Structure 1
Amino acid sequence: MNAHTGPQTAPALLRSDVDGVATLTLNRPQSRNPLSEAMLAALSEAFTMIAGDRSVRAVVLSAAGPVFCAGHDLKEMSAHRADADRGRAYFTDILGRCSAMMQQITSLPQPVIAAVEGTATAAGCQLVASCDLAAAGSQAKFCTPGVHIGLFCSTPMVALSRNLAAKHALEMLLLGEMVPAPEAARMGLVNRVVPAGEALAEAQRLAGVIASKSPATVKIGKRAFYEQREMGLSAAYDHASAVMVENMLARDAEEGIGAFMDKRPPVWES
């Protein structure tokens, strides 16, 4: 992907596709891979393209360099304090664009797996929390440090509060301390902790397992998971039951169940 390079010549975001897995790599290591205007645009464009790409069955989100993502580009944002409205319109726009991109991850038909090495801070931590799964190197750390600089991490809070128990989320938000990968796993922010440098390989392994499943079934399941999570218990069961009826009538469920009974590998619809 060569769009949205900004003033630099290298693309802000790289993409490679292998065996149904699209790997996206944040490619601004010299500036700690911030969610700048260019990076947000590149990510949004990539997710839009992937959503309609039937050849992609899972997505891995990684980063170049020693930092996964440092969050918003504070220099870019602070420059707009000189605007007539002290930056209100710009801040509203950029935060809206960031929130929309995070929601693209949730609504994407394919599961998205973060591969984290180094640090993921503020909106970078939000990015990890927004992914469906996450693998982290043993030296990775996570932090929502806005409280230290008078800017509470309110938008990262949305994703954190939907991944972590309330007291864990508030601990990160109120203390702003670095959380080591093993502790992040205990809290529920990441799924796997692997030796440093192996997060990408583990994320791609998980993606490969997902890619071997029925893409239609994975799409149904991911969508239903996020839909039911916002409902009350009774409504969630009603919704999940209705989804399962439609799933049961789908071609891949018939094929999968038949293959199981026949003791043969299933052949999924592409």
Structure 2
Amino acid sequence: MAQAAAEMNDDDKALVISQLANGILRLTLNNPPANALSIALMQTLRDELAAAEENREVRVVVIAAAGKLFSAGHDLKEMTGHREDADRGRAFFEKTMRMCSDIMLQITNLPKPVIAEVDGLATAAGCQLVATCDLAICTDTSTFCTPGVNIGLFCSTPMVAISRAAHRKQAMEMLLTGEPVDASAAKEYGLVNRVVPKEYLRTVSDKYASAIASKSPLTLKIGKGAFYQQMDRPLAEAYDYTAWVMTENMLARDAEEGINAFLEKRDPEWTGR
């Protein structure tokens, strides 16, 4: 794994705390109180995700956060500080938005499932991060919003992920009003999968992660990739594509092993081939 967090003697100084156990990689945003997505934090998160892709021991990634907020989005103080640049901050703003967008694409393209474990406020790019993850589990006191419209900065990049996760009318409601939605509304909208009491958050996310980590890593890679590839295709083309995917999947050794294990009533032994 990337060593940015692991080499720190004091986890309080690490912007992302990395912990790997039983195939589950926990990446904890550690930039309280707001867990703002500063350039430094995003760079660290990007490095950790890149390392996770290469590490065969990682089966599933959980993105959590330290403190009372999941993430308040971009670091507005950091961004405002660059308004004194000769270009009024254009280059820095472009760098910030591009890096954030790259991370969202990185999560979507990662051949391993990513779960958001949310406790507290997820706003703007923080809400975008939740919407981008493959699954999301939150506490019943968590809230979600895209408040950029309130400060003259429409949440256009968060809109990409949120409009693909939530129903269109609800996504527009969030974007146009900037008002927060509670956990139960977030589940109704499609932003999260489960809402649980705070004391059960880690237990439930671990349960999901463990269940996923027990599957064939090759099958997870094939399935996650196919899910996003087929979504925006016309119906007939989507069926053509997924029929080809299933045929290739059927020829994989893990599919042969899994089917034989099912028929023989035993646990499969995955090889990732």
Which of the five TM-score ranges fits, normalised by the shorter chain? over 0.9
1:12 to 10, 15, 36: 15
Superposition deviation, residue 262 in structure 1? 1.2
Work out whether 1:29 is the aligned partner of 2:29. no
Give the distance between the partners of 2:199 and 2:233, measured in 1 at CA: 39
Q: Which residue number in structure 2 is paired with residue 214 of structure 1?
A: 216
What's the offset of the Cα at 1:9? 7.0
C-alpha displacement of 1:267: 1.0
| Structure-2 residue corresponding to 1:252 | 254
Superposition TM-score, scaled by structure 1 size: 0.96
Amino acid at match of 1:107: N
Aligned-residue Cα RMSD (Å) equals 1.4
Match of 2:195 in 1: 193
Write out aligned runs for 1:1-270 (5 A).
Answer: 3=4, 10-30=13-33, 32-270=34-272
Q: Can you list the C-alpha shifts for 1:13-41, whole angstroms capped at 9, x where unaligned?
A: 001111000000001113x1000011100
Q: Structure 1 vs Structure 2: percent identity of aligned residues?
A: 54
SS at match of 1:198: helix
Q: Is the 8 A contact 1:147 1:176 kept in 2?
A: yes
Amino acid across the alignment from 1:25: T
Letter in 2 for 1:80: H
Cα distance in 2 between the residues matched to 1:50 and 1:201:
22
Shift of 1:197: 3.8
4+ runs deviating over 4 angstroms: none
Distance, in Å, in 1 between the alignment partners of 2:201 and 2:158 is 22
Give 1:85's aligned amino acid: D
TM-score between both structures, scaled by the size of structure 2: 0.95
User: How many angstroms does 1:3 deviate by?
Assistant: 2.7
Distance in 1, matches of 2:199 and 2:82, equals 37
* Residue 2 of structure 1, CA deviation: 5.5
Amino acid at match of 1:215: P
Distance in 2 between residues matched to 1:37 and 1:201, nearest whole Å: 31
Measure the CA separation in 1 of the matches of 2:95 and 2:122.
23
Gaps of 5+ in 1: none
